[in-house]
């Protein structure tokens, strides 16, 4: 039976820090991981979209897992993004992540090629068969161009190592359908759904915004678990401005989050091309919203 929170409740889709010269900053990654865990994250997801996975090498991905695994030292789960549009490459990344010490795998649906649902199901099953690690399936059709349909998720739930979904489908009914018919753990991948999905049986969230306000987002779920649903709603609403600025400003989350982390003098560094850094005006607006939220 799948546990309700196989990787914890409060997971951060962690950025990948780079040096000013653009190299992988493992010291920065360890420092950021330490901060995130200390401030309320009980899981870290590496090499996702926010982690700029399209621009990191396979060797960099493995080194990042090893470094973060060492930093958190069992205090938080480490989930490695391994999804690509090539099944063989994804299997190779899954095996490398397992060797590097990951606790689980985040597998996005193959992008650009848009396989039909039967081929998509076969892709996920082949990856789940390849290693001993549990899988989180990442449904984000706005980026991949293909949906993992609810009926496909329901079928995939019979695989013992397919245990969770990161949901960015914006199909709340579809998510509830899968929740009602499977034991898959559902993690909100869009911060505006953190509380809503949790309230109907979700496992928690995998959040980009948690890179900057991990404690504030965790407080929403803590209040709900304590039975204070009114406070949970207030806290969720209080975070809305920063969520909108970071995630719906027309810039990728990696750009906005790194812009804010750099303004806060926290490990981040530049983004890799083709992304471009946030300009000063954007960073100032983000900093003002951050200060408003964290002031209380």
Q: What percent of the chain has pLDDT over 90?
A: 98
Catalytic residue among 166, 186, 205, 290: 166
Note whether residue 150 is domain-resident.
yes
pLDDT at 296 over 80: no
Per-residue burial over 217-241, b = 16 or more CB atoms within 10 Å of its CB, e = otherwise:
bbbbbbbbeeeeeeebbebbeebee
Task: Quote the CA–CA distance of 206 and 214 in Å, as a whole number.
Answer: 11
Note whether residue 172 is domain-resident.
yes
Note whether residue 260 is domain-resident.
no
Note whether residue 272 is domain-resident.
no
Q: What is the CATH number of the domain that holds 187?
A: 3.20.20.70
- Is residue 166 part of the annotated active site? The answer reads yes
So what's the pLDDT on residue 1?
42
Note whether residue 128 is domain-resident.
yes
User: Average of pLDDT values for 14-35?
Assistant: 98
pLDDT tens digits along 182-206 = 999 999 999 999 999 999 999 999 9
So what's the pLDDT on residue 4?
82
Note whether residue 277 is domain-resident.
no
User: What is the helix (H) or strand (E) element at residue 37, kind and residue range?
Assistant: helix 26-38
Note whether residue 170 is domain-resident.
yes
- Is residue 177 part of the annotated active site? The answer reads no
pLDDT-derived band of residue 2, with 50, 70 and 90 as boundaries?
A: low
User: Average of pLDDT values for 116-135?
Assistant: 98
Number of domains in the chain: 1
For the chain, the average pLDDT equals 97
Catalytic residue among 138, 186, 198, 205: 138
Per-residue burial over 115-148, b = 16 or more CB atoms within 10 Å of its CB, e = otherwise:
eeeeebbebbbebbebbebbbbbbbbbeebebbb
Note whether residue 265 is domain-resident.
no
pLDDT tens digits along 91-117 = 999 999 999 999 999 999 999 999 999
Whole domain around residue 20: which residue ranges?
A: 10-227
């Amino acid at each position: 039976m799948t546990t309700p929170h196989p990787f914890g409740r409060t997971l951060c889709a962690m950025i990948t820090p780079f040096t000013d010269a653009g190299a992988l900053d493992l010291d920065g990654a360890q420092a950021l991981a330490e901060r995130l865990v200390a401030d309320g994250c009980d899981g870290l997801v590496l090499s996702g979209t926010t982690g700029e996975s399209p621009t990191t090498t396979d060797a960099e991905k493995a080194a990042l897992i090893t470094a973060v695994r060492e930093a958190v030292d069992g205090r938080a789960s480490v989930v490695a993004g391994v999804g690509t549009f090539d099944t063989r490459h994804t299997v190779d990344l899954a095996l490398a992540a397992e060797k590097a010490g990951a606790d689980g795998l985040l597998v996005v649906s193959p992008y650009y090629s848009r396989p039909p649902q039967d081929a998509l199901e076969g892709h996920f099953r082949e990856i789940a068969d390849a290693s001993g690690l549990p899988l989180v399936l990442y449904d984000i059709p706005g980026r991949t161009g293909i949906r993992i349909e609810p009926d496909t998720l329901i079928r995939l739930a019979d695989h013992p190592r397919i245990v969770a979904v990161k949901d960015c489908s914006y199909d709340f009914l579809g998510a509830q359908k899968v929740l009602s018919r499977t034991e898959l753990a559902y993690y909100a991948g869009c911060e505006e759904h953190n509380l809503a999905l949790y309230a109907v049986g979700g496992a928690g969230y995998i959040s980009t915004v948690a890179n900057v306000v991990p404690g504030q987002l965790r407080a929403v779920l803590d209040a709900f678990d304590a039975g204070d649903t009114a406070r949970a709603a207030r806290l969720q609403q209080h975070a809305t401005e920063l969520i909108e600025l970071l995630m719906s400003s027309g810039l990728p989350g990696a750009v906005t989050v790194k812009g804010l982390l750099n303004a806060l003098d926290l490990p981040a560094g530049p983004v890799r091309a083709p992304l471009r850094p946030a300009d000063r005006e954007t960073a100032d607006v983000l900093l003002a919203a951050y200060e408003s939220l964290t002031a209380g």
